């Protein structure tokens, strides 16, 4: 039996994947939602701790593994995919590697976040910040439930993210699907497609979807496509994707040929500002 390992985003927990658990299990998968380091009673954690925990979970899982990771954990998963080959990987609204570029929607909330993290304290976003960023398209009832479960952001982890983790794939044997929200206020589609390029994967964009499709009304169509990809993963493949025009919803090889090697080297792959 194939095991699905699901890794949540910053300040969230395994509960964020509850809407996806039953459909995956009905499709014949063993589904395990992980609690990432720094998001439980153990306290603070680093980016390296998160990578080690996810890598260990992949290594310990029985049978083939499908890795489903959201937001910051999708960046953690990118590092793990540089070390291991899995049956398939689905990166949902992934943070790209390298120096983070704050989206316009995050600007009003940055001063408080940076000041708190600079003091080494966990940062708990305000309700307004959560609503504007991670839960912009989540219905009110689901948002209230999420606020009861959300935890502060670990300061070491956040500082490590600001220090620009590097991702350097040495193998491209894992089929990778990158799910992008067309209305994502945290990871705009142009930034998320960088990850698909890096792993020669497939990028699908969904208009009307924000940063947390698992809890959003538009998440049903995302889930249906994710299940179809997991059942028959491809790498690479030219696929027209929802919300992209004929010159956009295509695979890495075609994009690289179109922009040329010189343009590829100077593009925003996230490595220019990344530490080695």
Per-residue pLDDT tens for 86-112?
999 999 999 998 877 788 888 888 999
What is the pLDDT averaged over residues 162-172?
80
Tell me how far apart the alpha carbons of residues 217 and 123 are, in angstroms, rounded to a whole number. 28
Neighbours of 36 (CB within 10 A): 25
Whether the pLDDT of residue 247 is over 80: the answer is no
Average of per-residue pLDDT values in the chain? 84
114-166 pLDDT, tens digit each = 899 888 899 999 999 999 999 999 999 999 999 999 999 999 999 999 887 88
Tell me how far apart the alpha carbons of residues 175 and 201 are, in angstroms, rounded to a whole number. 6
Residue 202 confidence class, pLDDT cut points 50, 70, 90 = confident
Least confident range of 9-18, 74-83, 172-181, 243-252: 243-252
Q: For a pLDDT cut of 90, what percent of the chain falls above it?
A: 63
Structure tokens at 80: 């793990």
Q: What pTM was estimated for this model as a whole?
A: 0.85
Neighbours of 79 (CB within 10 A): 21
Whether the pLDDT of residue 265 is over 60: the answer is no
- Residue ranges in the chain assigned as alpha helix (H): 18-26, 47-60, 72-81, 110-118, 127-132, 140-149, 155-162, 189-198, 219-231, 252-266
Residues 6+ apart with CB under 8 A from 88: 66, 67, 174, 175, 176, 177, 229, 230, 233
Regarding the domain with residue range 3-266, which homologous superfamily does it belong to in the CATH classification? Answer: Alpha/Beta hydrolase fold, catalytic domain (3.40.50.1820)
Whether the pLDDT of residue 271 is over 80: the answer is no
Least confident range of 13-27, 79-93, 237-251: 237-251
Tell me how far apart the alpha carbons of residues 196 and 35 are, in angstroms, rounded to a whole number. 25
pLDDT of residue 146: 96
**Cβ proximity of 56 and 49 under 8 Å:** no
Whether the pLDDT of residue 198 is over 80: the answer is yes
Neighbours of 144 (CB within 10 A): 12
**Cβ proximity of 177 and 223 under 8 Å:** no
Tell me how far apart the alpha carbons of residues 270 and 276 are, in angstroms, rounded to a whole number. 12
pLDDT of residue 236: 52
Least confident range of 130-139, 209-218, 237-246: 237-246
Residue 35 confidence class, pLDDT cut points 50, 70, 90 = very high
Whether the pLDDT of residue 276 is over 70: the answer is no
pLDDT of residue 187: 92
Q: Taking the alpha carbons of 237, 242, 243, 247 in that order, is the dihedral positive or negative? A: positive
Classify residue 252 as exposed, middle or buried by CB count within 10 Å of its CB (0-12, 13-18, 19+): buried
Pairing verdict, β 3-7 and 88-92: unpaired
Query: What are the boundaries of each domain within the chain?
Result: 3-266
Tell me how far apart the alpha carbons of residues 258 and 208 are, in angstroms, rounded to a whole number. 28
Residue 13 confidence class, pLDDT cut points 50, 70, 90 = very high
pLDDT of residue 257: 53
């Amino acid at each position: 039996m194939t095991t699905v390992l699901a890794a949540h985003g910053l300040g969230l927990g395994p509960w964020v994947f509850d809407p996806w658990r039953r459909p995956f299990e009905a499709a014949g998968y063993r589904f395990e939602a992980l609690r990432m380091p720094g998001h439980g009673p153990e306290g603070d954690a680093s980016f390296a701790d998160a990578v080690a925990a996810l890598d260990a979970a992949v290594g310990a899982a029985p049978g083939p593994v499908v890795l489903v990771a959201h937001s910051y954990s999708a960046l953690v998963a990118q590092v793990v995919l540089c070390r291991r080959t899995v049956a398939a990987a689905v990166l949902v609204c992934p943070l790209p590697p390298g120096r983070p570029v704050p989206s316009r929607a995050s600007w009003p909330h940055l001063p408080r976040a940076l000041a708190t993290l600079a003091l080494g304290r966990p940062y708990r976003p305000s309700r307004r910040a959560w609503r504007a960023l991670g839960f912009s398209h989540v219905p009110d009832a689901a948002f209230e439930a999420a606020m009861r479960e959300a935890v502060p952001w670990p300061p070491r982890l956040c500082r490590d993210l600001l220090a620009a983790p590097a991702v350097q794939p040495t193998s491209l044997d894992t089929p990778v699907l990158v799910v992008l929200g067309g209305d994502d206020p945290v990871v705009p589609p142009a930034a998320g497609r960088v990850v698909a390029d890096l792993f020669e994967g497939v990028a699908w964009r969904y208009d009307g979807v924000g940063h947390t499709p698992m809890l959003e009304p538009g998440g049903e169509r995302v889930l249906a496509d994710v299940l179809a990809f997991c059942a028959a993963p491809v790498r690479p493949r030219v696929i027209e994707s929802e919300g992209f025009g004929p010159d956009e919803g295509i695979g890495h090889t075609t994009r690289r040929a179109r922009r040329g090697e010189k343009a590829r080297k100077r593009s925003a792959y996230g490595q220019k500002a990344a530490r080695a």
